[in-house]
Copies of this chain bind each other. A is one copy, B any other.
Amino acid sequence: MDPKSTAETVVKHLEDAWNAADGPAFAEPFASDADFVNVRGELHSGRDAIAAGHQQIFDTIYAGSTLRYSVGSARELDDGVILAHIPATLNVPSGPLAGEINALASIVLVRDGGEHRIAAFHNTAVAGA
């Protein structure tokens, strides 16, 4: 499987889990020791922390939101290690962050047995978008 298809499979899982507001499902494609930096510059380490952090935002500021991811680019950095850039568009129906939010994430996928898992996810809100 090429890097872009591999990234698309992973990202589709994230998107579906986000849109189901399911924190543990969102965290499933991550490695158990994965690192996640969110748009506020906060680092969460470990799949459990990533699940809990996402469940928290799904239940509050991003309740009812709809996320659409794409894979902008993807390449192999080393054998089995993939870097991909993931543009995201989030629509939040209500609350302090209501409206459309755009972000760009970098993800690093590492091979784990027969599949790739996310070892690192780093997200940034797109300024002026």
Residues of A in contact with B (beta carbons under 8 Å apart): 33, 35, 37-43, 45, 72-73, 75, 77-81, 83, 85, 102-106, 108, 110-111, 119-120, 122-129
Contacts and interface: CB of A to CB of B under 8 A. Distances in A.
A37 B127 contact: no
A30 B81 CA distance: 18
Nearest to A102: B41
Given A103-B41, A127-B40, A81 B78 contact: yes
Contact of A108 (B79, B104, B120): B120
Given A77-B110, A106-B122, 20 more contacts: A33-B75, A35-B73, A35-B83, A35-B85, A39-B127, A40-B128, A41-B102, A41-B103, A41-B104, A41-B125, A42-B127, A43-B85, A77-B108, A77-B120, A78-B78, A78-B79, A78-B80, A83-B119, A106-B106, A122-B124
